[in-house]
Amino acid sequence: MRRMLGFIVSVLILFVGIAPAIAEDAFSILKKLEVNYVGLEKPGLKTLIAKAECSVFPDAIIMVYWSKDKGLKTKIEGGGPGAMASGPMVKGFVSAAGLGTKKTSEESKLTEESVVGTHKLATLADGSEVTELTFIPKEGQELGFTKMIMMVDIKEWVVRQSRTITEEAEVVTDIAYENGLPSEIVSTAGQVKSTITNTYMKQDEFTIPVKTEITMEGPDIPENMKHITVTYSDINVNAEIPEEIFAEPKPGEVPKPTETAAELFQQAQAAMGQGDLETAKLKLRQIVTYYPDDPMAPAAEAILEQLPK
């Protein structure tokens, strides 16, 4: 009896010891990653305002606004209609530097309802041990990818490498970090290779981005896109941001459309070509308000942010 009791206790201890490992799955690891990795958003940092200049659009000033509660916005001053693209570009680079980083689970819809998630131990080329997360869309789910793989360093809680596979291509991204922040991001898609290098500095007790350099290699890349530099200046931390910067139209304030999101987007483009910005803004607001999950919505929101209020 004593021997049997000892055996049962040993088994109980074994299962108690491995219970956390059993409970751990791809979704819980992803959740921990999103909780533990905060990028530049350290405790005490509530807002950031900066002026950005991009070498591709030398005549444009891109104002960057970040609020812990309301997210990341960019506004364009000058540069002409063509400079409108600089806002989303700089917004993406700021996010790559670690500010306003969106949760992958939300951005790519990595939920148990949408994808099948698995995990296993893996080793990178440099010998680093990581946890490999793999997500595959469930039948009937159109998420823009056929497989997404993330190599997660669960000691530092950062993504060291990611692979996004679509029906057309595979994008492989390797990320190096300095003091917990992305210092170099190298992505390869087919014959195109891009490298993003971030430079930071200390302001008060916070780390802030001061420069982002982007190099692109591959066929058919325009000369002015082969090397892009974005510099940040006039940086204000924890300054008050005007309410209208983050103001969003309410559904009742935007008439419900009869057109599809794609049709509205085409109408907005045509209106902008004719200089009718009010009609363009209305069409874009209709997309953002009534078709928030449509593939056109992110582009509509990005363009809408750049148009004057």
pLDDT, position 296: 78
pLDDT, position 309: 64
Q: Name the DSSP class of 11.
A: H
- Domain spans, the chain: 23-244, 248-309
Distance CA 64, CA 68 (A): 13
Q: Is the pLDDT of residue 90 over 90?
A: no
Mean pLDDT (the chain, rounded): 84
Indicate the pLDDT class of residue 19, thresholds 50, 70 and 90. very low
Report, as an integer, the average pLDDT of 256-284: 86
> For residues 265 and 287, is the Cβ–Cβ distance under 8 A?
yes
Instruction: Give 208-229 pLDDT, tens digit per residue.
Output: 999 999 999 998 888 888 999 9
Instruction: Give 64-78 pLDDT, tens digit per residue.
Output: 999 998 888 888 887
Q: Is the pLDDT of residue 114 over 70?
A: yes
Distance CA 18, CA 115 (A): 26
Q: Is the pLDDT of residue 256 over 90?
A: no
Indicate the pLDDT class of residue 236, thresholds 50, 70 and 90. very high
pLDDT, position 13: 37
